[in-house]
A and B are shown apart, each in its own frame.
Chain A
Amino acid sequence: MNQTSRQTISRKERGQIFDAFGKHISKGQIRYLTAGHLDVLEGERDGIRFYESQSGKPYIDGFSSAGCFNVGRCNRQVIQKLEAAADDYDMGTYGMLSAPKIRLAKLLADVALGDLNRVLLCGTGADAVEGALKLARGATGRNEIVSMVKAYHGHSGMSLSANGKDHYKELFQPLMPGFRFALFGDLKAIRQMVSERTAAIILEPIQGEGGIHVATDEYLRGLREICNQYGIMLIFDEIQTGFGRTGRLWASEHSGVIPDMMVLAKSMGGGLYPNAAILYRDRSELTGYVDGNPGFHSSMGGGTDLGCIVSASVIEYIVENKIWENVEKMGDRLLGGLRRIKEENPGLIVEVRGRGMMVGVEYKQEFMGILMADCLATHGMFAAYSANAPQVMRFQFPTAATAEDIDEALEIVRKAIRLSKLYLLLLGPLSRIPFVRTMLNKGDILVTVNSWLRKIAFWE
């Protein structure tokens, strides 16, 4: 599209936006984002790109707000549905019934796997995780929850208690007792941890923030077996993996393992309006508990009339266009391309992994995450490193990406790596000293160092 026709803002206005954000929200966030060159203001958003507000510079969106834009940014079909709906509906009354709510609940039950055909609508991913864990404890009468090391389920109290990284928890302790953490992929550890006191095992079929770790089919089948044996509720957090992201409508289709509960959010809102849901199996422990306690998790602001109309339209779009087919093809192209880049640059990348358009590149050093974020941004791609594993760069493009888009993205990665090598000329020798390496891998110090590097960098 023609760059010059885009509306841009002045340098002064950009400054005012940063001042207001710093004054009223967080100066620390600005400092942090600036170091990673993520201090970009999103102006117009369209398809797989957005355009920076001041310069109009196009960026490929490699983050998609952690997988929210599976129907693309500003999808016309969804916008039109919401526009029409705003004439007739508002949020509706929480806890009451309406045609949009019932219709969405039926639609979700129809497209979900197996007997996952009961629905509880929620407001956000964290809210849905809280609801699922409450349901597991309520239905089983048990207290213990098993989660995974590096797991990420949200920041509200219970979802945070299930978070597998101390960084997010340590300042707010004590959180909920009864949570234990197993290494992702280690069935033996699970067997040692569970008993008839375990209410639930919760995991992401592909860990997103944890650094794009794909659960093997055998692991998931093993978990299913263990859960059956002890009467434990198996919960899949498909907040990032759902709605076509992995090359199937649901990540659980790869293994065929049907969890007792599936938690959905992010792309369910089409990038336009928040919505979330828990789908649970039609089995007596679960339905019995919900029927006896219909208000056990009634989320205000969740499952709104407008939100349900958006979500229904998102599902229709995804199913009509079978977007998972493109995701699988383009995901393979992306994975293959990144693996070639790994070969071209020995010693830089440890592993390229992922499924569909949820791909992670693990660098050798933790500080490479922030450095590459910077270099990618310079060349026109917005990509974030994993919150719970900063050495892993995540690529989660809007799923409509074409072969040309993927090739362009790969070219940007190549350019960014060349640029990062300039930085590494300086950082590389230093980082061989163990003490300096430890320091560099500390988030705070890295933020300072990288901000300083960005200031002196002559190539920008």
Chain B
Amino acid sequence: MDTTLQEKQAGSLESDAPDTQNKAPTSVDRKGDNAPMDKLIADAKQVVGNGFVENLASKGMDWVESGRQGSVVHDSNGNKFIDCYCSSGTYNLGRKNPAIARELKQAINETDQGNFVMISREKAMLSERLARFTPSGLDCFLFTVVRGEAVDAACKLARGYTERYQLITVNGGCYGQTVFAMTLSERADKKDFGSLIPDVQTIPFNDIDAAGRSITRNTAAVILEPVQTENNCRTADKDYLVALRTFCDQTGALLIFDESQTGFGRTGEKFASDYFGVLPDIMLLGEALGGGMFPFGAMVFTSSVKTFFDAHPLIHLMTFGGHDVGCRVAAAALTEYDQIQPWQNAKKQGNILKKWLQELVDANPELKSVQGIGLMLSLEFESAEAADRFCRSAIQQGVLVKTGEIAKHSVIIRPPLTINDQDLDKIVTGIEKALGSGGAH
């Protein structure tokens, strides 16, 4: 066993350490002590799976992510890409944000994850910080780890608090991989996993009448993403969200916004609830809270809903949720958000980018539309194949983009919110070139 381990250590981390200064666009021969891309990919096929690597290849993503900084990510051959995927909206503050990285290094020298059931200074301090950051009235928290878990927690909280069962969501949603989240989501392979959570009803998005008919005194919660990023950035009408708020108030159902992707400035406002002027009872925050340096999310709720947790302590446990190191990292990310206020840049650059993309749509028969708000924009293609083809070309042109998880014929463009004019130009140029060459592949 030991020998195997030492062999593994041969491809040491230092040798693989990405060189962010390396601007050479061509592939370089790796020395013997480095793990070359081909070797890594072959290993991945073996331990992670052929299908996994083939799927990445179909998206043009079958390369090894290496150096990263700001808006840019490198592959292990030194090729550079502007990151317009941002791990589904994690990197609002850019890749490897230096201030947050510094705090991570500091925090691990002073604390660790802590015993998860306990009260801690780190949890308390983050909760105070976050309460000043989130919309007023939403100042209670459960700290989470992976996307989806917060959705599960919210569904449980809604059922527990209202003592009702029924959960209502809209079609076209994408919430995560845990089972409440999956039951609410629109995904083709759901049937593979047998009987999921009962008493979940799906109603058509943006249809006020359907919502009025469906939301009753039996409804525990209505849950939706104000912008369905993975579904061609389909955006809720303000009137629709206002109507949902009214129906929920009338029936005592809770309104839940999944802001995993819309939160922290992505829409051009701090939160989508600010953008639309509608306040939910529960709001879910994604990995953007950890600034991309630590897996950390949160369920945010009103003090009224919190009475459930007061009455039922330790009813929803998570070993890694509210991790003391994570709390420190998230607090540092909040300081960055407060200082940079990236929603302002997102609004400005988003408007410019959308105008450019609209011109491209007008000029290019391959493109059907551009959708979305702020820096969550989506190009709609004729087919999923055309969208995949475009992604491969765009990646070749140095722009990392990915198709939507739900609308597979859409390509989402969501760069870091801190993106500057120069990198925005590179995105536009890259997309133009990719469209020009796309048909040939």
Contacts and interface: CB of A to CB of B under 8 A. Distances in A.
Interface of A: 9, 16-18, 20-21, 23-33, 38-42, 45, 53, 61, 63-66, 68-69, 73-74, 79, 81-100, 102-103, 105-111, 117-120, 122-127, 130-131, 134, 137-138, 141-143, 154-161, 168, 171-178, 199, 265-266, 269, 271-274, 287, 290-302, 304-307, 309, 315-316, 319-320, 382, 384, 387
B24 interface: no
B108 A88 contact: no
A440 B45 CA distance: 57
B198 A319 contact: no
Contact of A42 (B46, B115, B286): B115
Contact of A96 (B18, B50, B65, B148): B65
B8 A91 contact: no
Contacts of B323: 274
A299 B145 CA distance: 10
B309 A118 contact: no
Interface of B: 1-2, 4-5, 8-9, 11, 13-14, 16-18, 35, 40-41, 43-44, 46-56, 61-68, 73, 76, 83, 85, 87-88, 90-91, 95-97, 101, 104-105, 108-109, 111-121, 123-125, 127-128, 130-131, 139-142, 145-149, 152-153, 155-156, 159-160, 165, 176-181, 183, 189, 192-199, 286-287, 290, 292-297, 303, 306, 309-321, 323-326, 405
Contacts, number: 386
Contacts of A123: 145-146, 149, 295, 320
A18 B196 contact: no
Chain B, interface SS category: mixed
A29 B314 contact: yes
A322 to B, nearest CB: 9
B124 to A, nearest CB: 4
Contact of A174 (B115, B131, B197): B197
Contacts of B47: 102, 105-106, 108-109, 117-119
Residue of B55, B109, B139, B313 ringed by the most chain A CB atoms within 10 A: B313
Given A90-B95, A106-B8, A157 B119 contact: no
A98 B155 contact: no
B287 A301 contact: yes
Contacts of B91: 90
A248 to B, nearest CB: 12
Given A110-B1, A299-B148, 14 more contacts: A24-B139, A26-B313, A41-B119, A82-B105, A91-B87, A93-B65, A96-B65, A99-B11, A110-B4, A119-B47, A156-B148, A271-B113, A300-B148, A305-B65
Contact of A294 (B2, B49, B101, B180): B49
Given A33-B118, A102-B48, A298-B177, A97 B41 contact: yes
A384 B117 contact: yes
Contacts of A305: 65
A86 B155 CA distance: 35
A294 B51 contact: yes
- Nearest first, the 10 A-B pairs at minimum CB distance are A291-B51, A301-B295, A123-B146, A157-B179, A28-B313, A24-B127, A274-B320, A143-B194, A158-B179, A20-B124
Contact of B146 (A79, A124, A141, A316): A124
A107 B179 contact: no
Nearest to A63: B115
A174 B198 contact: yes
B294 A273 contact: yes
B67 A24 contact: no
B63 A39 contact: no
B319 A294 contact: no
B180 A38 contact: no
B152 A90 contact: no
A199 B194 contact: yes
Contacts of A93: 65, 73, 83, 85, 87
Contacts of B303: 23
A108 B140 CA distance: 38
5 contacts: A31-B313, A42-B118, A89-B96, A138-B192, A171-B315
Nearest to B2: A319
A171 B160 contact: yes
A98 B121 CA distance: 35
B366 to A, nearest CB: 26
A98 B65 contact: yes
A382 B115 contact: yes
A66 B178 contact: no
A17 B119 contact: yes
B65 A124 contact: no
Nearest to A117: B47
B76 A99 contact: yes
Contacts of A125: 319
Contacts of B324: 42
A24 to B, nearest CB: 4
Nearest to B40: A102
B131 A24 contact: yes
A272 B112 contact: yes
Given A17-B124, A26-B310, A105 B48 contact: yes
A38 B120 CA distance: 11
Nearest to A179: B195
Contacts of B193: 134, 137-138
A269 B149 contact: no
Contacts of A273: 294, 325
Nearest to B111: A45
Contacts of B310: 26-28
Given A106-B8, A272-B112, A302-B295, A143 B147 contact: no
Nearest to A159: B178
A40 B118 contact: yes
B13 A85 contact: yes
Contacts of A82: 104-105, 108
Contacts of A21: 119, 123-124, 127
B327 to A, nearest CB: 11
Contacts of A73: 112
B326 to A, nearest CB: 8
B295 A91 contact: yes
A329 B170 CA distance: 57
A269 B325 CA distance: 12
B110 to A, nearest CB: 8
A97 B295 contact: no
Given A20-B128, A287-B49, A293 B189 contact: yes
B52 A296 contact: no
B1 A111 contact: yes
Nearest to B50: A291
Contact of B49 (A65, A118, A143, A172): A118
Contacts of B16: 99
A300 B287 contact: yes
A171 B124 CA distance: 27
B120 A42 contact: yes
Nearest to B297: A301
A172 B430 CA distance: 49
Contact of B105 (A83, A103, A292, A302): A83
A16 B127 CA distance: 12
Contacts of B108: 74, 79, 82-83, 272
Contacts of B13: 81, 84-85, 88, 99-100, 103, 309
Contacts of A382: 115
Given A68-B113, A96-B65, A124-B318, A300 B88 contact: yes
A9 B43 CA distance: 50
A189 B116 CA distance: 35
A15 B45 CA distance: 54
Contact of A107 (B8, B109, B286, B293): B8
A300 B179 contact: no
Nearest to A305: B65
Nearest to B295: A301
Contacts of B198: 174, 177
A65 B116 contact: yes
A267 B117 CA distance: 16
Contact of A127 (B44, B149, B155): B149
B406 to A, nearest CB: 12
